[in-house]
Amino acid sequence: MSARTHKVLRGLASLAAVFAFGVVMFGAFVRLSNAGLSCPDWPTCYGRAAWPEQQHEIAQANQAFPDRPYETHKAWREQVHRFLAGTLGTLVFALALVASWRRAWARYAVIVGALCAAAGVALYIRGEHHWSLLLSLVAIGLPLLAALGLDRPDAWRISVLALAVVVFQAMLGMWTVTLLLKPIVVMGHLMGGITTFALLAYAALRFAGVGAGDDGYAGVRRAVVLGIVLLLCQIALGGWTSSNYAALACGTDFPTCLGQWMPPTDFREGFVLWRGIGVNYEGGVLDMAARSAIQIAHRIGALVVFCYLAWLSHRVSRRGLRGYGLAIAVVLVAQVLLGISNVHFGLPLPVATLHNGVAALLLFTLLATLARTQRRREDALFLAYGHR
Protein backbone atom coordinates (compact mmCIF):
# COMPACT_ATOMS: atom_id res chain seq x y z
CA MET A 1 0.00 0.00 0.00
CA SER A 2 1.74 3.15 -1.21
CA ALA A 3 1.67 6.56 0.43
CA ARG A 4 -0.21 7.82 -2.61
CA THR A 5 -2.97 5.24 -2.15
CA HIS A 6 -3.22 6.14 1.52
CA LYS A 7 -3.61 9.80 0.55
CA VAL A 8 -6.35 8.89 -1.94
CA LEU A 9 -8.18 6.90 0.72
CA ARG A 10 -7.97 9.78 3.17
CA GLY A 11 -9.29 12.23 0.59
CA LEU A 12 -12.11 9.97 -0.58
CA ALA A 13 -13.19 9.15 2.98
CA SER A 14 -13.20 12.82 3.98
CA LEU A 15 -15.13 13.88 0.88
CA ALA A 16 -17.64 11.06 1.30
CA ALA A 17 -18.14 11.88 5.00
CA VAL A 18 -18.82 15.56 4.25
CA PHE A 19 -21.16 14.58 1.42
CA ALA A 20 -22.96 12.08 3.68
CA PHE A 21 -23.55 14.83 6.22
CA GLY A 22 -25.11 16.95 3.48
CA VAL A 23 -27.35 14.07 2.39
CA VAL A 24 -28.50 13.56 5.99
CA MET A 25 -29.33 17.26 6.26
CA PHE A 26 -31.19 17.34 2.94
CA GLY A 27 -33.02 14.13 3.82
CA ALA A 28 -34.22 15.76 7.04
CA PHE A 29 -35.38 18.77 5.02
CA VAL A 30 -37.36 16.48 2.69
CA ARG A 31 -38.93 14.54 5.55
CA LEU A 32 -39.80 17.58 7.65
CA SER A 33 -41.31 19.43 4.69
CA ASN A 34 -43.66 16.45 4.16
CA ALA A 35 -42.19 15.68 0.75
CA GLY A 36 -41.41 12.02 1.40
CA LEU A 37 -44.20 10.80 -0.89
CA SER A 38 -44.00 13.64 -3.40
CA CYS A 39 -42.66 11.09 -5.92
CA PRO A 40 -45.01 8.09 -5.63
CA ASP A 41 -42.70 5.74 -7.55
CA TRP A 42 -39.04 4.75 -7.10
CA PRO A 43 -36.36 5.45 -8.27
CA THR A 44 -38.12 7.52 -10.92
CA CYS A 45 -40.44 10.42 -10.13
CA TYR A 46 -43.80 10.04 -11.88
CA GLY A 47 -42.01 7.77 -14.34
CA ARG A 48 -39.27 10.31 -15.12
CA ALA A 49 -35.58 10.37 -14.31
CA ALA A 50 -35.95 13.93 -12.97
CA TRP A 51 -39.45 15.26 -12.31
CA PRO A 52 -42.29 16.69 -14.43
CA GLU A 53 -41.89 20.37 -15.28
CA GLN A 54 -43.92 21.10 -18.41
CA GLN A 55 -47.70 21.34 -18.23
CA HIS A 56 -48.25 18.30 -20.46
CA GLU A 57 -45.81 16.29 -18.32
CA ILE A 58 -47.70 17.29 -15.17
CA ALA A 59 -50.99 16.31 -16.79
CA GLN A 60 -49.56 12.91 -17.70
CA ALA A 61 -48.23 12.48 -14.16
CA ASN A 62 -51.63 13.23 -12.61
CA GLN A 63 -53.30 10.82 -15.02
CA ALA A 64 -50.81 8.04 -14.22
CA PHE A 65 -51.03 8.57 -10.45
CA PRO A 66 -54.54 9.91 -9.71
CA ASP A 67 -54.21 9.12 -5.99
CA ARG A 68 -51.09 11.29 -5.68
CA PRO A 69 -51.54 14.61 -7.53
CA TYR A 70 -48.28 16.24 -8.56
CA GLU A 71 -47.00 18.97 -6.22
CA THR A 72 -44.50 21.21 -7.98
CA HIS A 73 -42.88 22.60 -4.84
CA LYS A 74 -42.26 19.14 -3.31
CA ALA A 75 -41.37 16.64 -6.03
CA TRP A 76 -38.01 18.21 -6.85
CA ARG A 77 -36.95 17.88 -3.21
CA GLU A 78 -37.47 14.14 -3.10
CA GLN A 79 -35.80 13.49 -6.46
CA VAL A 80 -32.82 15.76 -5.72
CA HIS A 81 -32.38 13.83 -2.49
CA ARG A 82 -32.24 10.62 -4.51
CA PHE A 83 -29.66 12.15 -6.87
CA LEU A 84 -27.52 13.17 -3.91
CA ALA A 85 -27.83 9.72 -2.37
CA GLY A 86 -26.79 8.15 -5.69
CA THR A 87 -23.75 10.41 -5.86
CA LEU A 88 -22.82 9.40 -2.32
CA GLY A 89 -23.16 5.75 -3.33
CA THR A 90 -20.70 6.33 -6.18
CA LEU A 91 -18.20 7.94 -3.80
CA VAL A 92 -18.53 5.07 -1.33
CA PHE A 93 -18.06 2.54 -4.14
CA ALA A 94 -14.85 4.30 -5.20
CA LEU A 95 -13.63 4.31 -1.59
CA ALA A 96 -14.41 0.62 -1.12
CA LEU A 97 -12.74 -0.27 -4.41
CA VAL A 98 -9.50 1.53 -3.53
CA ALA A 99 -9.51 0.05 -0.02
CA SER A 100 -9.90 -3.50 -1.34
CA TRP A 101 -7.82 -3.20 -4.51
CA ARG A 102 -4.73 -5.12 -3.35
CA ARG A 103 -6.79 -8.20 -2.49
CA ALA A 104 -8.22 -9.64 -5.72
CA TRP A 105 -11.07 -11.57 -4.09
CA ALA A 106 -12.17 -8.51 -2.10
CA ARG A 107 -11.89 -6.28 -5.16
CA TYR A 108 -14.08 -8.61 -7.20
CA ALA A 109 -16.58 -8.84 -4.32
CA VAL A 110 -16.90 -5.05 -4.29
CA ILE A 111 -17.24 -4.80 -8.08
CA VAL A 112 -19.75 -7.64 -8.39
CA GLY A 113 -21.70 -6.26 -5.42
CA ALA A 114 -21.97 -2.86 -7.09
CA LEU A 115 -23.06 -4.44 -10.39
CA CYS A 116 -25.72 -6.48 -8.58
CA ALA A 117 -27.01 -3.30 -6.94
CA ALA A 118 -27.28 -1.54 -10.30
CA ALA A 119 -28.97 -4.56 -11.87
CA GLY A 120 -31.36 -4.77 -8.94
CA VAL A 121 -32.50 -1.19 -9.53
CA ALA A 122 -33.00 -1.89 -13.25
CA LEU A 123 -35.07 -4.99 -12.52
CA TYR A 124 -37.16 -3.09 -9.96
CA ILE A 125 -38.02 -0.47 -12.58
CA ARG A 126 -39.14 -3.29 -14.89
CA GLY A 127 -41.39 -4.66 -12.15
CA GLU A 128 -39.36 -7.81 -11.43
CA HIS A 129 -39.31 -7.18 -7.71
CA HIS A 130 -38.36 -10.63 -6.48
CA TRP A 131 -35.24 -10.80 -8.66
CA SER A 132 -34.44 -7.23 -7.67
CA LEU A 133 -34.60 -8.15 -3.99
CA LEU A 134 -32.37 -11.18 -4.52
CA LEU A 135 -29.72 -9.14 -6.33
CA SER A 136 -29.90 -6.44 -3.66
CA LEU A 137 -29.23 -9.00 -0.95
CA VAL A 138 -26.21 -10.23 -2.90
CA ALA A 139 -25.08 -6.60 -3.28
CA ILE A 140 -25.18 -6.24 0.50
CA GLY A 141 -23.64 -9.61 1.31
CA LEU A 142 -20.59 -9.46 -0.95
CA PRO A 143 -19.02 -6.24 0.41
CA LEU A 144 -20.01 -7.29 3.92
CA LEU A 145 -18.07 -10.54 3.54
CA ALA A 146 -15.17 -8.63 1.98
CA ALA A 147 -15.06 -6.24 4.93
CA LEU A 148 -15.09 -9.08 7.44
CA GLY A 149 -12.35 -11.03 5.67
CA LEU A 150 -10.08 -8.20 4.59
CA ASP A 151 -6.67 -8.32 6.32
CA ARG A 152 -6.30 -4.58 6.59
CA PRO A 153 -6.57 -2.03 9.40
CA ASP A 154 -10.03 -1.06 10.61
CA ALA A 155 -10.31 2.06 8.45
CA TRP A 156 -9.86 -0.04 5.29
CA ARG A 157 -12.46 -2.58 6.41
CA ILE A 158 -14.92 0.13 7.43
CA SER A 159 -14.56 1.70 3.98
CA VAL A 160 -15.72 -1.56 2.40
CA LEU A 161 -18.45 -2.09 5.00
CA ALA A 162 -19.87 1.34 4.16
CA LEU A 163 -20.76 0.07 0.68
CA ALA A 164 -22.99 -2.67 2.14
CA VAL A 165 -24.67 -0.09 4.38
CA VAL A 166 -25.29 2.26 1.45
CA VAL A 167 -26.97 -0.49 -0.59
CA PHE A 168 -29.23 -1.36 2.35
CA GLN A 169 -29.91 2.34 2.83
CA ALA A 170 -31.09 2.54 -0.79
CA MET A 171 -33.48 -0.34 -0.10
CA LEU A 172 -34.84 1.52 2.93
CA GLY A 173 -35.36 4.58 0.72
CA MET A 174 -37.36 2.45 -1.70
CA TRP A 175 -39.44 0.95 1.11
CA THR A 176 -40.08 4.42 2.54
CA VAL A 177 -42.02 5.18 -0.64
CA THR A 178 -43.55 1.79 -1.40
CA LEU A 179 -44.69 1.21 2.20
CA LEU A 180 -46.16 4.73 2.42
CA LEU A 181 -43.94 6.24 5.13
CA LYS A 182 -44.23 3.33 7.54
CA PRO A 183 -42.64 4.73 10.75
CA ILE A 184 -40.27 1.81 11.38
CA VAL A 185 -38.92 2.14 7.83
CA VAL A 186 -38.62 5.94 8.00
CA MET A 187 -36.78 5.64 11.31
CA GLY A 188 -34.55 2.93 9.83
CA HIS A 189 -33.81 5.14 6.83
CA LEU A 190 -32.73 7.94 9.16
CA MET A 191 -30.51 5.57 11.14
CA GLY A 192 -29.06 4.20 7.92
CA GLY A 193 -28.03 7.70 6.90
CA ILE A 194 -26.53 8.40 10.31
CA THR A 195 -24.69 5.05 10.25
CA THR A 196 -23.27 5.77 6.80
CA PHE A 197 -22.04 9.17 7.97
CA ALA A 198 -20.56 7.69 11.15
CA LEU A 199 -18.65 4.95 9.30
CA LEU A 200 -17.24 7.36 6.74
CA ALA A 201 -16.35 9.98 9.35
CA TYR A 202 -14.57 7.45 11.55
CA ALA A 203 -12.66 6.03 8.58
CA ALA A 204 -11.62 9.56 7.57
CA LEU A 205 -10.40 10.29 11.09
CA ARG A 206 -8.31 7.13 11.18
CA PHE A 207 -6.90 7.69 7.70
CA ALA A 208 -5.94 11.19 8.87
CA GLY A 209 -3.91 9.63 11.68
CA VAL A 210 -6.09 10.68 14.61
CA GLY A 211 -5.11 8.53 17.56
CA ALA A 212 -2.96 8.26 20.68
CA GLY A 213 0.66 7.24 20.99
CA ASP A 214 -0.16 4.77 23.75
CA ASP A 215 -3.14 2.86 25.12
CA GLY A 216 -3.62 4.93 28.26
CA TYR A 217 -7.20 5.94 27.51
CA ALA A 218 -8.98 2.60 27.90
CA GLY A 219 -11.38 3.84 30.60
CA VAL A 220 -12.27 6.99 28.71
CA ARG A 221 -12.71 5.00 25.52
CA ARG A 222 -15.29 2.73 27.14
CA ALA A 223 -17.16 5.77 28.43
CA VAL A 224 -17.16 7.32 24.95
CA VAL A 225 -18.50 4.11 23.39
CA LEU A 226 -21.38 4.13 25.88
CA GLY A 227 -22.02 7.76 25.01
CA ILE A 228 -22.20 6.87 21.31
CA VAL A 229 -24.68 4.07 22.03
CA LEU A 230 -26.89 6.36 24.12
CA LEU A 231 -26.80 9.08 21.47
CA LEU A 232 -27.71 6.65 18.69
CA CYS A 233 -30.66 5.41 20.76
CA GLN A 234 -31.79 9.01 21.23
CA ILE A 235 -31.43 9.74 17.50
CA ALA A 236 -33.55 6.65 16.76
CA LEU A 237 -36.13 7.88 19.26
CA GLY A 238 -36.10 11.26 17.53
CA GLY A 239 -36.69 9.49 14.22
CA TRP A 240 -39.61 7.60 15.75
CA THR A 241 -41.00 10.91 17.04
CA SER A 242 -40.72 12.54 13.63
CA SER A 243 -42.05 9.59 11.62
CA ASN A 244 -45.14 9.40 13.87
CA TYR A 245 -45.70 13.16 13.63
CA ALA A 246 -45.36 13.51 17.39
CA ALA A 247 -42.96 16.46 17.50
CA LEU A 248 -45.76 18.83 18.55
CA ALA A 249 -47.80 16.30 20.53
CA CYS A 250 -47.26 18.44 23.64
CA GLY A 251 -48.16 21.63 21.84
CA THR A 252 -45.64 24.42 22.41
CA ASP A 253 -45.29 23.66 26.12
CA PHE A 254 -41.89 22.96 27.65
CA PRO A 255 -40.99 21.37 30.02
CA THR A 256 -44.66 20.52 30.61
CA CYS A 257 -46.82 18.76 28.05
CA LEU A 258 -50.23 20.19 27.15
CA GLY A 259 -50.05 22.25 30.34
CA GLN A 260 -49.45 19.18 32.54
CA TRP A 261 -46.45 17.30 33.87
CA MET A 262 -48.09 14.00 33.00
CA PRO A 263 -50.90 14.29 30.43
CA PRO A 264 -52.88 11.26 29.22
CA THR A 265 -50.47 8.90 27.49
CA ASP A 266 -50.56 5.53 25.76
CA PHE A 267 -47.03 4.13 25.63
CA ARG A 268 -48.18 0.71 24.46
CA GLU A 269 -49.87 2.10 21.37
CA GLY A 270 -47.16 4.68 20.78
CA PHE A 271 -44.43 2.08 20.42
CA VAL A 272 -46.08 -0.55 18.22
CA LEU A 273 -43.35 -1.10 15.64
CA TRP A 274 -45.29 -2.96 12.95
CA ARG A 275 -48.90 -2.27 11.96
CA GLY A 276 -49.21 -4.20 8.72
CA ILE A 277 -48.99 -3.12 5.09
CA GLY A 278 -51.22 -0.87 3.03
CA VAL A 279 -51.73 1.98 5.49
CA ASN A 280 -50.72 5.49 4.40
CA TYR A 281 -48.84 6.96 7.36
CA GLU A 282 -48.50 10.47 5.92
CA GLY A 283 -49.68 12.81 8.67
CA GLY A 284 -49.64 10.01 11.24
CA VAL A 285 -52.26 7.51 12.39
CA LEU A 286 -51.87 7.65 16.18
CA ASP A 287 -54.19 9.44 18.59
CA MET A 288 -52.96 12.25 20.82
CA ALA A 289 -52.30 10.04 23.85
CA ALA A 290 -49.95 7.79 21.87
CA ARG A 291 -48.16 10.75 20.31
CA SER A 292 -47.78 12.42 23.69
CA ALA A 293 -46.19 9.23 25.03
CA ILE A 294 -43.63 9.29 22.21
CA GLN A 295 -42.84 12.95 22.81
CA ILE A 296 -42.41 12.45 26.55
CA ALA A 297 -40.15 9.43 25.96
CA HIS A 298 -38.04 11.57 23.62
CA ARG A 299 -37.71 14.27 26.26
CA ILE A 300 -36.73 11.77 28.95
CA GLY A 301 -34.15 10.30 26.60
CA ALA A 302 -32.80 13.76 25.87
CA LEU A 303 -32.38 14.41 29.60
CA VAL A 304 -30.49 11.14 30.10
CA VAL A 305 -28.19 11.80 27.13
CA PHE A 306 -27.59 15.39 28.20
CA CYS A 307 -26.57 14.39 31.72
CA TYR A 308 -24.29 11.60 30.53
CA LEU A 309 -22.59 13.59 27.77
CA ALA A 310 -22.13 16.58 30.08
CA TRP A 311 -20.33 14.29 32.53
CA LEU A 312 -18.37 12.70 29.68
CA SER A 313 -17.27 16.12 28.46
CA HIS A 314 -15.90 16.87 31.93
CA ARG A 315 -14.14 13.52 32.17
CA VAL A 316 -12.58 13.82 28.72
CA SER A 317 -11.32 17.30 29.55
CA ARG A 318 -9.75 16.12 32.80
CA ARG A 319 -7.83 13.43 30.91
CA GLY A 320 -6.01 16.11 28.94
CA LEU A 321 -8.30 16.13 25.89
CA ARG A 322 -9.71 19.55 26.63
CA GLY A 323 -10.47 20.47 23.02
CA TYR A 324 -12.51 17.31 22.51
CA GLY A 325 -14.37 17.79 25.80
CA LEU A 326 -15.18 21.40 24.91
CA ALA A 327 -16.44 20.40 21.46
CA ILE A 328 -18.79 17.82 22.99
CA ALA A 329 -20.12 20.38 25.47
CA VAL A 330 -20.69 23.16 22.93
CA VAL A 331 -22.48 20.96 20.39
CA LEU A 332 -24.50 19.29 23.16
CA VAL A 333 -25.80 22.64 24.45
CA ALA A 334 -26.60 23.78 20.91
CA GLN A 335 -28.57 20.58 20.29
CA VAL A 336 -30.61 20.97 23.49
CA LEU A 337 -31.41 24.60 22.65
CA LEU A 338 -32.51 23.60 19.15
CA GLY A 339 -34.75 20.88 20.58
CA ILE A 340 -36.43 23.34 22.94
CA SER A 341 -36.77 25.88 20.11
CA ASN A 342 -38.49 23.26 17.97
CA VAL A 343 -41.24 22.96 20.56
CA HIS A 344 -41.43 26.62 21.60
CA PHE A 345 -41.65 27.99 18.04
CA GLY A 346 -43.90 25.25 16.65
CA LEU A 347 -41.37 23.20 14.63
CA PRO A 348 -40.08 25.76 12.11
CA LEU A 349 -38.50 23.95 9.16
CA PRO A 350 -35.00 25.55 9.40
CA VAL A 351 -34.72 24.83 13.13
CA ALA A 352 -36.03 21.28 12.80
CA THR A 353 -33.62 20.54 9.93
CA LEU A 354 -30.70 22.02 11.86
CA HIS A 355 -31.68 19.87 14.86
CA ASN A 356 -31.03 16.79 12.72
CA GLY A 357 -27.73 18.13 11.45
CA VAL A 358 -26.42 19.06 14.89
CA ALA A 359 -27.29 15.55 16.12
CA ALA A 360 -24.92 14.23 13.44
CA LEU A 361 -22.28 16.78 14.50
CA LEU A 362 -22.63 15.68 18.11
CA LEU A 363 -22.06 12.11 16.99
CA PHE A 364 -18.98 13.27 15.09
CA THR A 365 -17.48 14.87 18.23
CA LEU A 366 -17.87 11.54 20.02
CA LEU A 367 -16.36 9.62 17.09
CA ALA A 368 -13.43 12.02 16.99
CA THR A 369 -12.91 11.51 20.72
CA LEU A 370 -13.11 7.75 20.27
CA ALA A 371 -10.49 7.86 17.51
CA ARG A 372 -8.25 10.08 19.64
CA THR A 373 -8.33 7.61 22.54
CA GLN A 374 -7.24 4.67 20.36
CA ARG A 375 -3.67 3.75 19.51
CA ARG A 376 -2.31 4.56 16.08
CA ARG A 377 -2.17 0.94 15.04
CA GLU A 378 -2.91 2.06 11.49
CA ASP A 379 0.59 3.54 11.11
CA ALA A 380 2.45 0.34 11.91
CA LEU A 381 0.20 -1.72 9.68
CA PHE A 382 0.50 0.81 6.89
CA LEU A 383 4.28 0.51 6.98
CA ALA A 384 4.00 -3.26 7.06
CA TYR A 385 1.88 -3.19 3.91
CA GLY A 386 4.04 -0.54 2.26
CA HIS A 387 6.01 -2.95 0.08
CA ARG A 388 3.22 -5.40 -0.69
* Residues recognised as catalytic: 78
Q: At what angle do helices 129-149 and 104-125 cross, to 10 degrees?
A: 160
The full 3-state SS of the chain, as one line of letters, equals CCHHHHHHHHHHHHHHHHHHHHHHHHHHHHHHCCCCCCCCCCCCECCECCCCCCHHHHHHHHHHCCCCCCCHHHHHHHHHHHHHHHHHHHHHHHHHHHHHCCCHHHHHHHHHHHHHHHHHHHHHHCCCHHHHHHHHHHHHHHHHHHHHHCCCCHHHHHHHHHHHHHHHHHHHHHHHHHCCCCHHHHHHHHHHHHHHHHHHHHHHHHHCCCCECCCCCHHHHHHHHHHHHHHHHHHHHHHHHHHCCCCCCCCCCCCCECCECCCCCCHHHHCCCCCCCCCCCCCCCCCHHHHHHHHHHHHHHHHHHHHHHHHHHHHHHHCCCHHHHHHHHHHHHHHHHHHHHHHHCCCCHHHHHHHHHHHHHHHHHHHHHHHHCCECHHHHHHHHHCCC
